Structure formats: C-alpha cells, structure tokens
A and B are shown apart, each in its own frame.
Chain A
C-alpha cells in the first residue's frame, strides 16, 4: 500500500523544532549519559587529589551515619573507613576493569568476527562453534573459574570478563562483515586490485563498526556489573576498594547500617545507567534510518 507522505518535521518555530529533534534523535540521552559518565571518570581520575590517603585505612569512629560528621559527609564503615573515599577509589577500580574488559572483548570479538565473516569456509565453521561453546558456558561461572586459576588482580579480572564478553561482539561483527563482503563497493575495491588487508581494514570494517560502537558502552557497563558481583563474593582484588566489595562488607550490618550497602549500589547504578544512556543514544544516532534521512 502506498503510504501517504509524512514529512519528518512539522512546521513551527525553528527553536521548538530544534528541541524536538534533539529529544527524539537520541542526542539527549547521548549528551546526558556522556556528561554523567565524564563526571564519574574525572572524579575517579582525581581520586588521589580528593582523598590522598589509603581508602582502606581506619580514619575515625566506625559506623558514622551520613551527615553525622562534616568531615565524613557519607559516613564511615564498620572498620572506620571513609565511605566517600571508598566510593571515589571504587570508581577507579570499576572503570579500570570496565574499560579494560571491554577492550579485551572488543579486540577478540573484532578479530574472530572479521575472520569468520570474511573468510567463511572451515574457519567460519570452527569459529562459529567456538562462539557457541563460549555462549553455552555460564559467563559468570567462567569468570569465577578464570580468576581462581590466576590470582585476583584487576588485570586478571578484566581479562576474564573480556573473555566472557567477546562472543557477543564476534557474532555482531561476523554478521556485519558477511553482509558487507558482497557489497558493491567491496567488489569494486576488489576489482581495483586492492589487497585483502586493505579491503578489510579500509572498506569493510569502517562500515561494519556503527552497531559495534553502540555495543562498546554496553560491554563496559556489563563488565562493571560483573566486577561488582565478583568482588561482592570476595573474589575481587583484595588490595583494592571496589563498590562490590563495599556492598559485600556491608551485608553483615545490613539490618541497621543499611546506608553502607545503599551508597555503593547507587554508585554502580548511576555509572552503568550513564553508559546505557550513551549506548541507547548512539544506537539511535548511528542507525541507518537516521543516517539516511537528510
């Protein structure tokens, strides 16, 4: 059925149109999410300036409630540690793990996905089975086992989480590359005698990336959630304060001093929320539908 033509914008004041476009197009969530995430990154980077001491040190009376002391606005733990310092240093740990794990997952996924999608044949068949293998194992259990093999350092944890997250990227990249392999501009490049490397890196990957970019911030978000679960179970890096371990430690005093569990949980939620907003915004902004429109 032929559709009545519907223009993308109604006639009105340009300012109103601008605001409406901004709200609908995904730029709003991209901006808000990006701003919040940037603020968290800056805070985490400035941890040494804001709280120069070791956040695991006992600094004052244990179990001060938030607001009880001007010096420790967010209160203290049952060991007399400053909660505010813990949160800021915890941001550092979360972000490090999140970004490193996403990098590992992205790299593995890109390489495997491109290989499988471009080469096809037995390479594809093998890689598809390996991807299926990894997707069959419960990822959190996989991470726990890998961390137990090596010692629980930030590096090991990141590597393990990255190893659990790569199949998603690999599947996405494989599908993209497969469909682009036969695209006309790729055939044209091949006819011009370009080498495989140049075709893959110069023609296929740049066009396959938009949906992958939106996945990156989800990868970071999921890695942060997984690290929190891991350190909640006391499997995290014992030398580092992390949001998950703060919640884990707060379990014993949950009934009375619940703020100790609430505050780090809110920190996790805010960080992950900002990343998910960025991802949603990117998906919207980078969608072919949007890009095709004038």
Chain B
C-alpha cells in the first residue's frame, strides 16, 4: 500500500474525535488511480465523516487526532488550510447526497460552476463560461445554454445532481468523492446518475470513492469494497472476492439481507438495534463494536481491546476474531 504501487489515496490509522468521543477509529483504506472504491455501511457509521476528513472539512468541534491521509504522497491531515483549498475542487471533487440542498438557491447554475472553475484555473470569464457549458454537456444536461442561466429550483433533482457532478469534475480531479449520490433521487434517475459517474471516471481517468449503503450498486460498479461499522473498517476486499467470500459477520449480514431481495440495506435492517444513537458509546467501548449484534459473538469478542484483524492471501481484510474462510466458501 504505497504510492509506488500506484495508489492514489492511502489512509492509515485515521482517528477522528470530538472531545471524549471517538468518531473514526483506526480507519485504513486505499484507492488506486482510476479505481472505484465503494465505502459501505449504515447511516452514522462514519462514511461521510471519512470523506470530509479527506477534504479537511471536518465539522466544528471535530478534530483529526491521529493517522495519515496520503493523497499522491502528500499528507492531507497535516496540510495547511491554503494547500487544502488548492486541492479541494482541483484534485479532489465532491458530490453530495442531496442535490436539493447542495446548490446555492440564489445563484445561477453557471455562476456556481464558474466559481469552482475560476478558483483553480487561470481562465477569463468568457473561457470559464465556455468550459461550464462543455461540462454541462459532458454531464448529460440537455440544453446547457438554457440551464446555465437558470436557478437550482428550476431544475429537477436528477438534473441538479448532474450539475453537481459537472461542477465537481470541472477541474478534472484525480479523485471524485460521491457521497450517496443517488439516495435522494428516484429509482430510474439513480441508474442514470451512476452510469454517468462510471462513464466520467473512465473518460477522465479519475478514481471514484463511492459512498453508499446500497450493496446492489457496489456489485456492478466498484473495484474494491470497504465496509464500515461504528467508525471502524470491518472488511476490505476486491469486489468479486467480497461477494464470493465475505469474511466479517456484519458483511455477511449485509449481503444476506440485501442480495436477492434487492432492497436497499437500510430498509432491511429495521429489526436490528438502531446504530445512530449508540455510535458514540460503541466507538469508545472496548472490544468488537459489532459484538452486541453478532450471532457468532463469544466472550473474547467483548474483551479484546483493539483486534488488529487479519488479511488473507488475496489481500482480503477482516476485523473479526474468527477468520473461518471455509465457512463462507
């Protein structure tokens, strides 16, 4: 997992906390150039926070405590605010979940795109306008010229998300972070937006960090999968390996409940205890955070303070005490 091996982003032992509460615990993951990594987990497990940590945009009162975020060999966790601003929007783009709220309601679409373009590229107003129109076209927005002068409320949700994507890729970033980009959209639009992201990733040869709670998305579009639970990475593997041989009991639960039925994950987990309210205590506790919900849990699971996990021959990581690969085979 070094830059020499072609990795674009490497996160090692990342710890993020609010005073007294650990929100991300020893998170580690890596994305290669042009690769799609899918970050999977329930609401509140720390997926979005990980994305914000990469961009240096942690909410107020939340701080980076430990660990490295190496982007092209540069540690973003220790970069100056000025350096981070250079990277945001230029080398790393962000697409947020809700296109209804992620665009400024009082500014024209074009103006919002141009500010991203002109912050990073030495273009005249005229050139920036041309670039914005090109991008809208590239993102599959029909009638770019008309949309350019419109305001967000005049666009449908799917179109807005296309605008957000066009803005995020405006400076051809090397990494695009898409935080649940389709959750707020209706089903037919979801597929179109995902296809668009996939197409842009290939055409612009950028890497994609796709955050989702929907495993059905992961199977078709990701190269690698990273499952998070209560602020920790519990499983990390290549996508085929993951679906064929899931190792962590939590991942197995996810697959059981989501595959076949095709229902998004959060609908299937209703009977399990709600994580959102207890994540703070879970991250501070000793032992495996999933133990209270795990049917394979034994006494040792509750005690081991910080089990390092195991990585098998296929570079398949699991944070579970029980390695049993045979069982899943």
- B280 close to A7 (CB less than 8 A): yes
Is B122 part of the contact surface with A, judged by Cβ < 8 Å? no
Chain B residues whose CB sits within 8 angstroms of the CB of A6 once the complex forms: 18, 59, 61-62
- B21 close to A4 (CB less than 8 A): no
Closest Cβ of chain B: how far from A168's Cβ, in Å?
27
User: Chain A 2-19 against B: per-residue CB contact (8 Å), 1 yes, 0 no?
Assistant: 111111001110000000
Choose from B18, B19, B179, B280 the contact partner of A1 (Cβ within 8 Å): B179
A68 to B183, alpha carbons, bound, how many Å? Answer: 76
Closest Cβ of chain A: how far from B62's Cβ, in Å?
7
- A2 close to B43 (CB less than 8 A): yes
Chain B residues whose CB sits within 8 angstroms of the CB of A3 once the complex forms: 48, 59
Size of A's binding interface in residues, CB under 8 A: 10
- A4 close to B43 (CB less than 8 A): no
A12 to B18, alpha carbons, bound, how many Å? Answer: 12
Chain A residues close to B by CB (< 8 Å)? 1-7, 10-12
Size of B's binding interface in residues, CB under 8 A: 26
Given A6-B61, A7-B21, A7-B280, is A1 in contact with B96 using a C-beta cutoff of 8 Å? yes
User: Chain B 45-67 against A: per-residue CB contact (8 Å), 1 yes, 0 no?
Assistant: 01111001000000101100000
Chain A residues whose CB sits within 8 angstroms of the CB of B47 once the complex forms: 2
Chain A residues whose CB sits within 8 angstroms of the CB of B48 once the complex forms: 1-4
Closest Cβ of chain A: how far from B249's Cβ, in Å?
23
A12 to B19, alpha carbons, bound, how many Å? Answer: 10
Closest Cβ of chain B: how far from A203's Cβ, in Å?
32
With contacts A2-B43, A4-B46, A4-B48 known, what are 16 further pairs, Cβ within 8 A? A1-B48, A1-B98, A1-B102, A2-B179, A2-B183, A4-B59, A5-B44, A5-B276, A5-B279, A6-B18, A6-B59, A6-B62, A10-B21, A11-B20, A11-B21, A12-B20
- A4 close to B44 (CB less than 8 A): yes
Is B209 part of the contact surface with A, judged by Cβ < 8 Å? no
Is B23 part of the contact surface with A, judged by Cβ < 8 Å? yes
A71 to B52, alpha carbons, bound, how many Å? Answer: 68
Chain A residues whose CB sits within 8 angstroms of the CB of B98 once the complex forms: 1
Choose from A4, A11, A12 the contact partner of B23 (Cβ within 8 Å): A4
Choose from B62, B97, B280 the contact partner of A2 (Cβ within 8 Å): B97
- A4 close to B62 (CB less than 8 A): yes
Q: 8 Å CB contacts to A: which residues of B101-115?
A: 102
A252 to B96, alpha carbons, bound, how many Å? Answer: 66
Closest Cβ of chain A: how far from B107's Cβ, in Å?
19
Is B35 part of the contact surface with A, judged by Cβ < 8 Å? no
Chain A residues whose CB sits within 8 angstroms of the CB of B102 once the complex forms: 1
A/B interface sample: 30 pairs, CB < 8 A: A1-B48, A1-B96, A1-B97, A1-B98, A1-B102, A1-B179, A1-B180, A2-B43, A2-B44, A2-B47, A2-B48, A2-B97, A2-B179, A2-B183, A4-B52, A4-B59, A4-B62, A5-B276, A5-B277, A5-B279, A5-B280, A6-B18, A6-B59, A7-B21, A7-B280, A10-B19, A10-B20, A10-B21, A11-B20, A11-B21
Q: Which residue of B lies closest to A11 (CB)?
A: B20
Chain A residues whose CB sits within 8 angstroms of the CB of B49 once the complex forms: 4
Chain B residues whose CB sits within 8 angstroms of the CB of A7 once the complex forms: 21, 280
- B180 close to A2 (CB less than 8 A): yes
A29 to B23, alpha carbons, bound, how many Å? Answer: 33
A178 to B179, alpha carbons, bound, how many Å? Answer: 38
Chain A residues whose CB sits within 8 angstroms of the CB of B183 once the complex forms: 2
Chain A residues whose CB sits within 8 angstroms of the CB of B179 once the complex forms: 1-2
A141 to B33, alpha carbons, bound, how many Å? Answer: 72
A10 to B280, alpha carbons, bound, how many Å? Answer: 10
User: Chain B 266-306 against A: per-residue CB contact (8 Å), 1 yes, 0 no?
Assistant: 00000000001101100000000000000000000000000
Closest Cβ of chain A: how far from B230's Cβ, in Å?
11
Find the residue from A2, A5, A7 having the highest chain B CB count within 10 A: A2
A112 to B59, alpha carbons, bound, how many Å? Answer: 45
Q: Which residue of B lies closest to A5 (CB)?
A: B44
Closest Cβ of chain B: how far from A10's Cβ, in Å?
5
Find the residue from A5, A10, A12 having the highest chain B CB count within 10 A: A5
A10 to B22, alpha carbons, bound, how many Å? Answer: 11
